[in-house]
């Protein structure tokens, strides 16, 4: 009875994984990229409008302005952003690893999928551990950077 029940659940789980899990991971990545781009565009538009207001009658060199904005983007990476990257990578690797591991165990039993899923899950957990450890270890530096940013505004 249990065997027939498992054989009935395996196709359902496979369909849910295929049409639910994988698109959810891809959609999450796309949303994160678009949100990051939107944030950059908003920052650039604020800086450009401030520059235009300050130099109303002056001739504006947009090429030099774009180079300056790209340089400022590269310098704005804070400690908090670096720590949050560990969380992002950890969550992504853990989810993908879990789905691959479950696929390899239940849907299509394959040793390679189990190994790859296990490795991805282990890497994801390692990133999550790095996030929590570095968050506590770098707490003072993050607070200093937040105070400095608050004073600039």
Regarding pTM above 0.85, the answer is no
As a whole number of angstroms, the distance between CA 101 and CA 123 comes to 13
Q: Do residues 63 and 135 share a domain?
A: no
pLDDT of residue 116: 87
Query: Residues 64-93: pLDDT tens digits?
Result: 666 666 665 555 667 788 888 888 999 999
Q: How many domains does the chain have?
A: 2
- Residue 126: pLDDT band (50, 70, 90) is very high
Tokens of 21: 């899990």
Could you give the CA distance from residue 93 to residue 116 in angstroms, rounded to a whole number?
Answer: 11
Within this chain, do residues 66 and 129 fall inside the same structural domain, yes or no?
A: no
62 and 92 co-located in one domain = no
> Cα 64–71–67 angle (5° rounding)?
20
Q: Are residues 83 and 150 in the same domain?
A: yes
Angstrom distance (rounded) from CA 90 to CA 122: 9
pLDDT at 114 over 60: yes
72 and 95 assigned to the same domain: no
The verdict on 88 and 35 lying in the same domain is no
CA-CA distance, 139 to 133, in Å (whole number)? 10
Residue 52, token pair as written in the block: 């235009």
Q: Are residues 51 and 9 in the same domain?
A: yes
Alpha carbon distance 101, 97 (integer Å) = 6
């Amino acid at each position: 009875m249990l065997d027939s029940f498992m054989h009935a659940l395996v196709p359902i789980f496979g369909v849910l994984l295929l049409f639910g899990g994988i698109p959810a991971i891809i959609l999450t990545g796309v949303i994160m990229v678009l949100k990051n781009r939107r944030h950059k565009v908003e920052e650039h538009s604020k800086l450009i409008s401030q520059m235009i207001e300050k130099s109303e009658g002056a001739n504006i060199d947009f090429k030099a302005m774009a180079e300056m904005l790209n340089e400022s983007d590269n310098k704005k990476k804070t400690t908090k952003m670096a720590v949050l990257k560990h969380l992002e990578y950890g969550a992504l690797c853990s989810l993908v690893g879990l789905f691959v591991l479950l696929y390899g165990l239940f849907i299509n039993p394959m040793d390679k999928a189990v190994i790859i899923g296990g490795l991805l899950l282990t890497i994801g957990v390692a990133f999550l551990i790095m996030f929590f450890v570095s968050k506590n270890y770098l707490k003072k530096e993050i607070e200093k950077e937040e105070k400095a940013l608050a004073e600039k505004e």
